[in-house]
């Protein structure tokens, strides 16, 4: 159905909204961008398919890097988030049943923590509260983008909300609408990448281990397992395995599931209790051929996706938001057209190359460790030995994992 047919079948649209920036997608990345631009003077409209309460209710938790924490602190939401999330002071890497273990400590980096673990609700509610304090940001939710008309000097977004059509005129549209981004596909931006042979089972457990400030990455021949501490002696676990195995793991009887989990974790967490449902999701590597088009920029999963190994996915999106906020804020101050390719390509040059590094690194690690080929087993165990033996290699690895390697947004300097 065309926009014109919809207009005739629905009630008359509301008056047209004029703004500087439309953000399509009110998840963590889109909300981070809006919050980072609160003081820029730009008028922002956020379009989200779900009501705010429902959007924040996703039962998921994420690793947050040191850089993500600093970005949240600089935009004024960290004080609300930090008391409610997990924090880890050490990271433990191990390769299947090999006895060698790599341990990263805060002393290796000179920081109080090596990272954090935040539940979706905690992070997004803090961002939503910050946005509500700004008179420059307006929500349209629940709402659906019907069409976008990209013109020379503006973009006209047709939105359906509460059974009515409304048009929003803006200098720039931001696609923060996920891996299947209609904003990306709507302008024909192609993607590169592949789907992995693996799926992930995500869930939360409670344990009785004496400490809860360590993160684990336990590599196994079938795929890695990430274990991240949450408040209340809980852990968020992402268990990766080939598709059929992952599906079988999800469907296991709870007693057998916990028995296999106890074996896979090597008893490091003590007694385990499952305190959430098990969620199954497939894994892909995806990089958009470009992050920008005239009057359009992509951030987060709309621009790229990576293997969950190392918990890098959301952190890349948060960095995208901080970088784009800096580029747009400076352009606006200098009187430039924020929707022009000249401006938007500054953001693309900054982020696309850095994201490739993380996408390639996580892919390399997954392929290196998720097999039993003897030559690769020797190579990876040599790599673990080098990390343990050479302090500069350990520090470099930590800087990459924590986001402290690469160009820093001005707001955290």
Residue 316 CB neighbours (<10 A): 25
pTM, two decimal places: 0.94
Q: Report the percentage of the chain scoring pLDDT > 70.
A: 97
Q: Is the pLDDT of residue 198 over 50?
A: yes
Query: For 326-342, how does the pLDDT look when each residue is reduced to its tens digit (9 = 90+)?
Result: 999 999 999 999 999 99
Q: Report the percentage of the chain scoring pLDDT > 90.
A: 91
Query: For 214-260, how does the pLDDT look when each residue is reduced to its tens digit (9 = 90+)?
Result: 999 999 999 999 999 999 999 999 999 999 999 999 999 999 999 99
Q: Domains for the chain: give ranges and CATH numbers.
A: 3-192+284-412 (3.50.50.60), 194-283 (3.30.9.10)
Q: What is the pLDDT of residue 271?
A: 93
Query: For 121-159, how does the pLDDT look when each residue is reduced to its tens digit (9 = 90+)?
Result: 999 999 999 999 999 999 999 999 999 999 999 999 999
Q: What is the pLDDT of residue 3?
A: 42
Question: Would you list the DSSP string of 259-317?
Answer: HHHHHHTTTTT-SEEE-S--EEEEEEEEEES-SEETTEEE-GGGTEE--SGGG-HHHHH
Q: What is the mean pLDDT of residues 164-179?
A: 97
Q: Does the bond joining 142 to the residue before it have cis omega, within 30 degrees of 0?
A: yes
Q: How confident is the model at residue 266 (pLDDT cuts 50, 70, 90)?
A: confident
Q: How confident is the model at residue 14 (pLDDT cuts 50, 70, 90)?
A: low
Q: What is the pLDDT of residue 8?
A: 41
What are the residues whose beta carbons fall under 8 Å from the beta carbon of 192, sequence distance 6 or more?
Answer: 286, 287, 288, 289
Distance of alpha carbon 259 from the chain centroid = 31
Q: What is the pLDDT of residue 6?
A: 40
SS3 3: helix
Residue 81 CB neighbours (<10 A): 20
Q: What is the mean pLDDT of residues 191-212?
A: 96
Q: What is the mean pLDDT of residues 40-66?
A: 96
Q: How confident is the model at residue 5 (pLDDT cuts 50, 70, 90)?
A: very low
Q: What is the pLDDT of residue 413?
A: 73
Contact 154, 22 (CB under 8 A): no
Residue from 181, 201, 221 nearest 372 by CA: 221
Residue from 297, 179, 307 nearest 240 by CA: 307
Residue 312 CA to residue 226 CA, distance in Å, equals 12
Q: What is the pLDDT of residue 267?
A: 87
């Amino acid at each position: 159905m065309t926009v014109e047919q919809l207009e005739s079948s629905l009630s008359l649209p509301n008056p047209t909204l004029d703004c500087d920036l439309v953000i399509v997608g009110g998840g963590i990345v889109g909300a981070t961008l809006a919050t980072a631009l609160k003081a820029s003077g730009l008028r922002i409209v956020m379009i989200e398919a779900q009501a705010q309460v429902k959007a924040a209710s996703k039962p998921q938790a994420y690793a947050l890097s040191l850089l993500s924490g600093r970005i949240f602190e600089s935009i004024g939401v960290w004080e609300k988030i930090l008391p409610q999330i997990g924090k880890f002071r050490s990271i433990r890497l191990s390769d299947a049943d090999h006895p060698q273990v790599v341990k990263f400590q805060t002393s290796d980096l000179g920081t109080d923590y090596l990272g954090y673990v935040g539940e979706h609700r905690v992070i997004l509610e803090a961002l939503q509260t910050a946005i509500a304090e700004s008179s420059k940001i307006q929500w349209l939710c629940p709402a659906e983008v019907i069409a976008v008309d990209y013109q020379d000097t503006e973009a006209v977004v047709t939105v359906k909300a509460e059974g009515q059509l409304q048009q929003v005129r803006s200098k720039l549209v931001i696609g923060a609408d996920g891996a299947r981004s209609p904003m990306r596909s709507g302008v024909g931006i192609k993607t590169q990448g592949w789907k992995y042979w693996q799926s992930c089972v995500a869930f939360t457990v409670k344990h009785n281990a004496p400490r809860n400030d360590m993160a684990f990455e336990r590599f196994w021949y079938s795929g890695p397992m990430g274990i991240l501490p949450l408040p209340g002696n809980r852990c968020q676990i992402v268990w990766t395995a080939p598709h059929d195995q992952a599906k079988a793991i999800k469907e296991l009887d709870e007693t057998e599931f916990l028995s296999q989990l106890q074996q896979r974790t090597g008893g490091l967490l003590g007694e385990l209790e499952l305190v959430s449902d098990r969620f199954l999701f497939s894994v892909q590597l995806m990089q958009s051929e470009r992050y920008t088009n005239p009057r359009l920029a992509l951030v987060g999963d709309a621009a790229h996706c990576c293997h969950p190994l190392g918990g890098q996915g959301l952190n890349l999106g948060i960095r995208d938001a901080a970088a784009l906020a800096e580029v747009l804020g400076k352009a606006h101050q200098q009187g430039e057209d924020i929707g022009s390719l000249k401006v938007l390509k500054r953001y693309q040059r900054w982020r696309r190359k850095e994201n490739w590094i993380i996408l390639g690194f996580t892919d390399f690690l997954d392929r290196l460790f998720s097999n039993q080929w003897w030559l690769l087993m020797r190579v990876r165990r040599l790599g673990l030995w080098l990390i343990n033996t050479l302090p500069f290699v350990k520090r470099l690895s930590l800087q990459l994992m924590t986001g402290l390697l690469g160009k820093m947004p001005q707001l955290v300097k």
